[in-house]
Amino acid sequence: MSLQTLHGFGRAMSTVGTVVRIGSQADAVEAVEAAHGGRGLIARGLGSSYGDPAQNSGGLTLDLTGMDRILQLDAGSEVPLAVVEAGVSLDQLMRAALPLGLWVPVLPGTRQVTVGGAIAADVHGKNHHKQGSFGNHVLAMDLLGADGEVRTLTPDDENSDIFWATVGGMGLTGIVLRATIRMQRCETGYFTVDTDRTQNLADTMELMHRDDDNYTYTVSWMDAVTSGRHMGRAVYTRGEKALISELPRKLRSDPLKFVGPNFGTIPDVFPNGMVNQLTAAAFSELWYRKAPKHRVGEVQNITQFFQPLDVFNDWNRGYGPAGFLQYQFQIPFSAERDFERTVEMITGSGHVSCLNVLKRFGEGNRGLLSFPRPGWTFTVDLPIRHGLDRLVHALDEVVLGAGGRLYLAKDSRVDASAFAQMYPKLDEFRAIRERLDPEGIFISDQARRLGL
């Protein structure tokens, strides 16, 4: 137990609280009992959410990374399963599963996320339009409640309302201790990838609309700096898991090899302002030009295709000590002009972002606070500097007016009123939480700000 300053991956919104490392169910039960009458507690994994959902100012934050055992990996059953403790990372699970010909069904932009965190944020990947978000693939979970009892929940049992409040519920219904995940089979650890460069936003949206349904995995890096006739130009990549027969001969001897290089940790020496109009424009031009205009069938490994930033630890330090805001929103397909308006606002604002991701969501699940639902989702990383609040508040208004929403795992500043308009099932979530935790034991800085 120690007093620590905690922040999200954006390195802003720091607060001080007591961190308790949890190594077992008994440790977690003891911590819940100790939290009664105080400032409550919240579970924390690897700290990869960008804002303040996994910190608790003046209270307890439970570090669950000590609960990191893979209890079962069953490749031989009709439905391949993984049973894991909540502190197991997706990186750890992927490394253990791939040699058995098993694949984690949903992988976000980093593998440095715990299974408990993936459930709490209901993370999504490049395959949402085909296979949904992480909660779609959770068959059961053990949840420690405020009363000290552990409930085993499934998506369709008598406690399914608690299950779907927990999926996407940001840890506010209790502590996920373990989960059973439906895995996927694979022949290799590689992908066959098609790439195109687009000329502008209309070209990008048209190509994605036409091609997305033909691939399991799709994503665009989109230029959020260039304005004018090339505004919204993008590098659009889409792919499928590669078969052994599709691999180059040199890769066939070890087709299930996990290729996850790491080039070390970014030092904490960068000043504020390193990401600016000049450097962002140069990066965007380089990233766009290095991609082929059109290429089909390229074989890429998991790191190349899914998580290129995982080759560096703590890459967020490159933004300097002030940190950055990752702003991710969703706008329905019926409001595409509003989406175009947000791109115009960002590129014309003077605020810059290099790491920008555009995807199309499919149908959402039953998670009461789950983020994905049909529409466009766009993510930008904006360095914290003067005037950024005006831009994001203006973006909030467009997103709200279009019937869109922001993602809790990325949020660090939206207000309670706007959030309530974005999530129409919020009252249902609150009612379940009140029933499970009338004292409000499970609480975070984000929950206080949003009135959850």
Classify 221 as helix, strand or coil. Answer: strand
Give pLDDT, residue 264: 84
Distance CA 379, CA 450 (A): 21
Q: Tell me the H-state helices in 146-254.
A: 160-166, 201-211
Are 196 and 164 in contact by the 8 Å Cβ rule? The answer is no
As a whole number of angstroms, the distance between CA 240 and CA 422 comes to 33
Q: Go through the domains of the chain in sequence order and give each one's CATH number.
A: 67-186 (3.30.465.10)
348: helix, strand or coil? coil
C-beta pairs of 277-286 under 8 Å, 24+ apart in sequence = 277/225, 277/350, 277/352, 280/225, 280/352, 280/353, 280/354, 281/225, 281/226, 281/352, 283/354, 284/223, 284/224, 284/225, 284/226, 284/354
Q: Where are the alpha helices (DSSP H) in 132-254?
A: 160-166, 201-211
Q: What is the pLDDT along the chain (452 residues), one digit of tens a residue?
A: 889 999 888 888 889 999 999 999 999 999 999 998 889 999 999 999 999 999 999 999 999 999 999 999 988 888 999 999 999 999 999 999 999 999 999 999 999 999 999 999 999 999 999 999 999 999 999 999 999 999 999 999 999 999 999 999 999 999 999 999 999 999 999 999 999 999 999 999 999 999 999 999 999 999 999 999 999 999 999 999 999 999 999 999 999 999 988 888 888 888 888 888 999 899 999 999 999 999 999 999 999 998 888 888 888 888 889 898 999 999 999 999 999 999 999 999 999 999 999 999 999 999 999 999 999 999 999 999 999 999 999 999 999 999 999 999 999 999 999 999 999 999 999 999 999 999 999 999 999 999 98
Q: For residue 270, what pLDDT is reported?
A: 81
Q: How many Å from the N-terminal Cα to the C-terminal Cα in the chain? A: 27
Q: What is the pLDDT of residue 330?
A: 98
pLDDT of residue 164: 98
Q: Beta strands 190-197 and 234-241: pairing type?
A: antiparallel
Name the β-bridge partners of 138. Answer: 181
**With contact defined as beta carbons under 8 Å apart, do 36 and 439 qualify?**
yes
List residues bridging with 192 in a β-sheet: 240, 299
Identify whether the C-beta of residue 450 lies closer than 8 Å to the C-beta of residue 406: no
Report the distance separating Cα 119 and Cα 72, nearest Å.
18
Q: Please give the pLDDT value at position 298.
A: 97
Question: Exposed/middle/buried for 289, CB within 10 Å: 0-12, 13-18, 19+?
Answer: exposed
pTM score, whole prediction: 0.96
Largest Cα–Cα distance of the chain, in whole Å?
64
Report the side by side order of strands in the sheet with 175-182.
70-74, 81-85, 175-182, 138-144, 150-153
pLDDT at res. 432:
97
Beginning with the edge strand found earlier in the chain, give each strand of the sheet holding 41-44 in spatial order: 2-6, 15-21, 60-63, 41-44
Q: Copy the structure tokens of residue 15.
A: 């607060």
- List phi, psi (to 5°) of 59: -120, -155
- Given this model, what pLDDT does residue 262 score? 83
Residues 325 and 319 sit within 8 Å (Cβ to Cβ):
no
Q: How far is CA 37 from CA 41, 148, 175, 349, 439, in A?
A: 11, 15, 18, 46, 8
